[in-house]
């Protein structure tokens, strides 16, 4: 059984009705999205419950900031926030290691792009800023690694720097960061597990783009950390 407990004003959108993302292979997403939503996920999981979809912006630049508890997160996030909900693609920022071979080709075709966590390239930051300037919806796991202890681990600063740089370079861009909590029951998901997704209220980056970038980035990530802790405990 798959349920979505939330306000869903865009729930009758098809995956191709409003998405306009560049760098996304439409022929592939037109197969992948419905296959995942109506085939793989309801087949594997007993129940998926999503709350807070009313907090997802309809348009404009957005960074989704989910907790990271399983590789299944890459499927659960688009299920809860993607084309069938908002009419928008999920542009994942993934580690460079994930972009190898056939898997890397697949990720690129559906709009993913790589970042080297140990040595982040300026080009990656610029690409992320450009996607936000185009009004895209990025997915960045702020904890970076996968953690299954239901704790919020230290957030990486890169998300905050990216968001503030985009807002600072393009005043009134309106970047928003949406905290998302993903829980699996049991902690390590398996056949017929249950999933609970909670989507929090967005943080408006323009409130943090008024002072020194480094200082404001720290403040932004501190507030995001607190927001994740609050919705993760629900």
Closest CA to 20 of 86, 116, 94: 86
Q: What is the pLDDT of residue 123?
A: 80
Angle at 74 between CA 26 and CA 162, to 5 degrees: 85
Please check whether residue 9 lies inside any domain of the structure: no
* Region 63-73 average pLDDT: 97
Q: Residue 32 belongs to a domain with what CATH number? A: 3.40.1130.10
* Region 53-63 average pLDDT: 97
Cis peptide leading into residue 205 (ω within 30°): no
- CA–CA separation, 99 and 106 (whole Å): 9
Q: What is the pLDDT of residue 201?
A: 98
Q: Cα 66 vs. chain centroid, distance in angstroms?
A: 6
Task: Report the chain's terminal Cα–Cα distance, integer Å.
Answer: 22
Please check whether residue 7 lies inside any domain of the structure: no
Question: Which of the 8 DSSP states describes residue 44?
Answer: H
User: Mind listing the pLDDT tens digit for each residue in 133-180?
Assistant: 999 999 999 998 999 998 999 999 999 999 999 999 999 999 999 999
The model carries a pTM of: 0.91
Helix, strand, coil shares of the chain as percentages rounded to 5? 40, 15, 40
Q: In whole numbers, what is the pLDDT of the chain averaged over residues?
A: 89
Please check whether residue 15 lies inside any domain of the structure: no
Question: Which of the 8 DSSP states describes residue 154?
Answer: P
Q: Map residue 232 onto helix, strand or coil.
A: helix
Please check whether residue 13 lies inside any domain of the structure: no
Please check whether residue 10 lies inside any domain of the structure: no
Backbone angles phi, psi at 59, to 5 degrees: -155, 180
Q: What is the pLDDT of residue 116?
A: 73
Q: What is the pLDDT of residue 11?
A: 42
Q: What is the pLDDT of residue 115?
A: 80
Structure tokens at 234: 């629900």
Please check whether residue 14 lies inside any domain of the structure: no
* Region 3-32 average pLDDT: 62
Please check whether residue 19 lies inside any domain of the structure: no
> In the chain, how many domains are there?
1
Q: What is the pLDDT of residue 129?
A: 95
In terms of residue numbers, what domain contains 156? Answer: 26-232
Please check whether residue 47 lies inside any domain of the structure: yes
Q: How many residues does the chain have?
A: 234
Q: What is the pLDDT of residue 118?
A: 63
């Amino acid at each position: 059984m798959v349920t979505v407990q939330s306000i869903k004003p865009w729930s009758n959108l098809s995956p191709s009705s409003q998405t306009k993302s560049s760098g996304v292979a439409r022929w592939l997403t037109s197969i992948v999205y419905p296959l995942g939503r109506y085939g793989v996920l309801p087949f594997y999981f007993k129940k998926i419950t999503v709350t807070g979809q009313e907090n997802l912006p309809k348009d404009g630049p957005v960074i989704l900031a989910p907790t990271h508890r399983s590789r299944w997160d890459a499927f659960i996030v688009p299920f809860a926030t993607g084309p069938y909900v908002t009419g928008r693609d999920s542009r994942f920022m993934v580690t460079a290691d994930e972009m190898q071979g056939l898997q890397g080709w697949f990720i690129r075709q559906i709009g993913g792009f790589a970042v080297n966590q140990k040595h982040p390239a300026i080009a990656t930051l610029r690409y992320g800023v450009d996607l936000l300037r185009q009004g895209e919806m990025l997915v960045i796991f702020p904890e970076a690694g996968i953690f299954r202890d239901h704790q919020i681990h230290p957030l990486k600063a890169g998300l905050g720097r990216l968001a503030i740089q985009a807002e600072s370079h393009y005043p009134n861009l309106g970047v928003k960061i949406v905290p998302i909590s993903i829980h699996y029951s049991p902690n390590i998901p398996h056949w017929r597990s249950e999933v609970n997704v909670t989507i929090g209220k967005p943080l408006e980056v323009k409130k943090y783009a008024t002072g020194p970038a480094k200082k404001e980035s720290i403040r932004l990530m501190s507030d995001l950390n607190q927001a994740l802790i609050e919705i993760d405990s629900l």
